[in-house]
Amino acid sequence: MKGRFGYRSAFLGVLIVFLTSCTVGPNYTPPQARVPAKWQHGTAKKIISYGNWWRHFHDPVLNKLIEQKAPYSLNVQIAEARIEAARSLYKAAYAQLFPELTANVFPPNATGVDLAQVYGLFATFDIDLFGKKRAAKQKAQENLAAELAEKEFTILKLQAEIATAYFSLRELQAKLRILRNNKIANNKILHMLQSNYHKGTANYIGIAQQKSLIETELANKERNKALEIAMLQQLELLTGNGPGALTKLLHRYRPMPPMAPLINLTVPSELLTRRPDIIAAEKRVAAAHADLQAAWADLFPKITLGWLLAWQTQALTTNLLSLTGSQSAFFGLLDAPLLSLRLAKMIDVRKREKALTVLLYEMTVLNALHEVEIQYNYCKHYRLGAQHLQRALTHKRVVFDVARDSYKKGVADFNGVLLAEEDMNRLQMAYTHQVLAYQIALINLYKALGGDVVK
């Protein structure tokens, strides 16, 4: 008898494993995005995985902001909370694959002093014959993987935002230094004009023009001060700090980092495995497909195996709560939907939901491809533009020096000096802003490539 019972148990176990390995519905095929063989701009080079892309700007303060301050950002904490919620959902879906044990109290089956109470333990196991619970587990697993990828993309975007705000702050500080230096030089010129006016060798128009220039630059200085404070507050917000927490670190003037070298591009298809948002979008497609498989499984019968162990007690006699007469029994339940329009329509709903996630995946890939092309194009032209402005500024300094010397010698009026000075100030501001535009475009290019450095 024991041998037969052992064989039956083994056979039953093998049968359960076989039955629970079945699934219904179409198999999952990852979505295929249309990706060009090469970039429209740039050359394809071998990629070197190097996550700390911000270190190529060689700025220790930027390194500290991203590496030491960014982890405290509320955006990162929100992403981590979403991961924990998705992980809990996965654990709950996984737990459905195991048997359950419940305790029950049945209604009394007699009256008066002979009142009998029955207690029972139920052990039930839903055979996942057509894969509904496994599909739910797969959906939860794919959603968890998507949240993990979303966190990586959140961190990548946060790093880019911090770097952008940091360079914007340095640009404002550079402009403030230019304005302060201009104020000193303009005051010297004003004193020279006033001296010549008292000597009778100059008219008051030159003095008024110089005072107007000084007041205009003072107004620009106040505007830049306000923007500097706002950008400092933005950095504190991005890094999860309260107002004033980064003032000591960032308020002191530091020159803008020199323009980092332009990077090369790898083949477009590698974006599919590097960009966290693309990875997350593909995981959402897989989760939607698992939902579709669960909807298909709902059309098929559900089988539940169970075991009942019960005791009886004479609840209102002297044998109060004394358990007697334990009995046990195995049972099975079959739940088969014969006609359900709702279940059939749910398959159509899940198909449309999956089609939507595929479109979102394709849109994510397309946005990433265009983002790389656009930012690379910006980098290339902004860098050339900065070089042109740098040369123009060098030539304009020569013009200013010549105009100032000619005025001192009395061979030219002050209008030439004033125009040359205004042009030089404008070029200084334009060059500083062009350098910022290039740095920001390069930051966005790193983000578009998934944070890796390509050499």
Q: Which residue has the tokens 């089609």?
A: 355
Q: Let me know if residue 271 belongs to a domain.
A: yes
Supply the range of the domain harboring residue 185. 29-98+134-301+348-449
Confidence grade of residue 43 (pLDDT, cut at 50, 70, 90): low
What's the confidence (pLDDT) of residue 106?
A: 66
- Over 60: is that where the pLDDT of 319 sits? no
What's the confidence (pLDDT) of residue 26?
A: 82
Mapped onto helix, strand or coil, the DSSP state of residue 329 is strand
What's the confidence (pLDDT) of residue 150?
A: 96
Lowest mean pLDDT among 12-26, 214-228, 378-392: 12-26
Domain CATH code at residue 415: 1.20.1600.10
- Over 60: is that where the pLDDT of 405 sits? yes
- Over 70: is that where the pLDDT of 19 sits? no
- Over 50: is that where the pLDDT of 362 sits? yes
Q: Per-residue pLDDT tens for 186-196? A: 888 888 888 88
Q: Let me know if residue 306 belongs to a domain.
A: no
Q: Let me know if residue 23 belongs to a domain.
A: no
CA pair distance 61, 194, nearest whole angstrom: 45
Count of beta carbons in the 10 Å neighbourhood of residue 138: 22
Q: What is the mean pLDDT of the chain?
A: 85
CA pair distance 156, 446, nearest whole angstrom: 9
Q: Which residue has the tokens 């000096």?
A: 417
- Over 50: is that where the pLDDT of 5 sits? no
What's the confidence (pLDDT) of residue 325?
A: 63
**The pair of three-digit structure tokens given for residue 266, joined into one six-digit string:** 């790898």
| Whether 418 contacts 216, CB under 8 Å | no
Q: Let me know if residue 9 belongs to a domain.
A: no
**pLDDT mean over 312-335:** 67
| Whether 196 contacts 417, CB under 8 Å | no
Count of beta carbons in the 10 Å neighbourhood of residue 321: 9
Q: Let me know if residue 121 belongs to a domain.
A: no
| Whether 400 contacts 348, CB under 8 Å | no
Residue of higher predicted confidence among 308 and 152 = 152
Question: Which amino acid would we find at residue 66?
Answer: I
Q: Let me know if residue 257 belongs to a domain.
A: yes
CA pair distance 170, 62, nearest whole angstrom: 11
Number of domains in the chain: 1
Q: Let me know if residue 92 belongs to a domain.
A: yes
Q: Let me know if residue 19 belongs to a domain.
A: no
